[in-house]
Amino acid sequence: MKILLFFNIILIGLPFLSFSQEYQYIPFPDSGAVWSEVYNPAHDEENPVWDVYERFALSGEDTIIKNLSYKKLYLFYDTIFDKKKSLYMGGIREDNEKHIYYIGDSIHWLKPFNSFNDYNKEKEFLLYDFSLEIGDTLWEGNNNIFGKLIVEDIDTIQIENTLRKKFYFNYFWVEWIEGIGSLRGLLFAASDIPTGSSYPNNSLICFLQNNQVLYHEEHFIDCFPTTVSVETKQININIQVSPNPTNKIIIRFEWGNDKIETIDIFDLKGSLIKSISVTGKTLIEYSTEKLLPGIYLYKAVGLNNSTQTGKFVIQ
């Protein structure tokens, strides 16, 4: 009986949708768009998974690269996008054939894949092709993928007051939503690496357009989680990092108690730069002389493996 009732609702609802709303292609955003994501670096048994929460924003600013016009893409870590506190990544553009292109830097391995070295980051490559039909194939090469992606199904879903196409591929964890991108994250490579493996993974938490949430992954309560991993316990300390941002050689970490055992410094690729023993101390001064300008992460490890994480910016 419940099954029959369900289908009756669907059948009654379909004519209403067809008269009240007609599908029209939703272009990729060019301003006011924010992607909130979680990245899990590659790991092994000795180095457990920890989460890196990252946000990307299209500011609406134009930039010309190799005679083509792109919209500037920024990386940031706060809950509100502030260009002055963000890192410029590169540019995104859409052509008249519903192709979405990216040119710029990588933030991690596979994010994005094809611009990970200095040679490829000077090349434009295809992020998305929203003109695909069922059965079409995307091949490795100019695309941010390994192997090939085959479109197995295309559905039409309603988000707020718009109908958008949702693309399903032969890798069951790869799904695209028109006007938003991949549910694995804006720049993260589509690949045959399954979620939960020891390889890096990435997930889209929220997508916002003009401060309106259009997509929210149900496993996350907050669109902008803190940088503390869900597998760790946050300690009640208040680390002061100064100056931050900084253009000086010395940066100071100060916390005023003795609960911290180590402070680890990471780059945005998740690589450990320095592990500093701070047991019994209340502050340290760290030399940034050998660090390039950019955003860096720190993780303070306290008693019982509890952690607190944050970031600092070198200008």
Question: How do residues 283-301 score in pLDDT, each as one tens digit?
Answer: 899 998 888 877 787 888 7
Radius of gyration from C-alpha coordinates of the chain = 22
- DSSP for 239-258 reads -EEESSSB-SSEEEEE-SSS
Q: Once rounded to an integer, what is the mean pLDDT over residues 262-279?
A: 80
Average pLDDT, rounded, for the chain: 81
At 237 the pLDDT is 64
- Where do the structural domains in the chain lie, given as residue ranges? 20-216, 240-314
Write down the residue that tokens 């090349």 correspond to. 123
As a whole number of angstroms, the distance between CA 122 and CA 204 comes to 26
* Confidence category of residue 130, pLDDT binned at 50, 70, 90: very high
**Ranges 14-23, 66-75, 176-185, 296-305: which has the least confidence:** 14-23
Q: Pick one of 2.60.40.3080, 3.40.640.10, 3.40.50.10330, 3.10.180.10 as the CATH number of 240-314.
A: 2.60.40.3080
Evaluate whether 275 touches 293 at the Cβ level (below 8 Å).
no
Please name the residues in contact with 84: beta carbons below 8 A apart, sequence gap of 6 or more. none
As a whole number of angstroms, the distance between CA 92 and CA 201 comes to 22
Q: Once rounded to an integer, what is the mean pLDDT over residues 137-153?
A: 84
Question: How do residues 44-78 score in pLDDT, each as one tens digit?
Answer: 555 555 678 899 999 999 999 989 999 999 998 88
DSSP H or E run through 278: none
Write down the residue that tokens 């990307």 correspond to. 56
**Ranges 25-39, 49-63, 186-200: which has the least confidence:** 186-200
At 194 the pLDDT is 56
Residue 272 has pLDDT above 60, yes or no: yes
* Confidence category of residue 8, pLDDT binned at 50, 70, 90: very low
Measured CA angle at 277 (ends 272, 278), to 5 deg: 125
Whether the model clears a pTM of 0.85, i.e. scores above it, the answer is: no
Q: Which amino acid is at 41?
A: P
As a whole number of angstroms, the distance between CA 218 and CA 223 comes to 10
* Residue 135 tokens, joined: 């059965």
Q: Once rounded to an integer, what is the mean pLDDT over residues 104-119?
A: 73
CA-CA distances (angstroms) from residue 253 to 85, 165, 184, 187, 243? 19, 48, 34, 32, 9
At 47 the pLDDT is 55
